[in-house]
Amino acid sequence: MDFRAAWSPENIAFMLEGFKITLYVAFVSIVLSFAFGTLIAVFRYARVPLIAPILGAVVEALRNLPLLLIIIFARFALPDVGIKLDVVSAAIVGLTVFEMAMISEIVRGGLLSVDKGQIEAARASGLTYVQTLRYIILPQALVRMIPPTVSQFISLLKDTSLAVAISLPELMHNSQIIYNANPSKYVVPILSFAAGLYFITNFALSQASLFLERRLSVRH
Structure confidence by residue, pLDDT tens digits, 17-53: 999 999 999 999 999 999 999 999 999 998 889 999 9
> Higher model confidence: residue 218 or residue 164?
164
Cβ contact 179:186 at 8 Å: yes
pLDDT of res. 56: 95
Domains of the chain: 3-219 (1.10.3720.10)
Q: pTM of this prediction?
A: 0.89
The per-residue pLDDT of the chain, averaged, comes to: 91
Cβ contact 149:106 at 8 Å: yes
Question: Is pLDDT of 59 > 70?
Answer: yes
Cβ contact 162:67 at 8 Å: yes
pLDDT of res. 60: 96
pLDDT of res. 28: 97
Residues ≥6 apart with Cβ < 8 Å to 94: 67, 70, 71, 72, 73, 74, 75, 163
Structure confidence by residue, pLDDT tens digits, 95-119: 999 999 999 999 999 888 888 888 7
Taking the C-alpha atoms of residue 149 and residue 105, their distance in angstroms, rounded to an integer, is: 10
Question: Is pLDDT of 220 > 60?
Answer: no
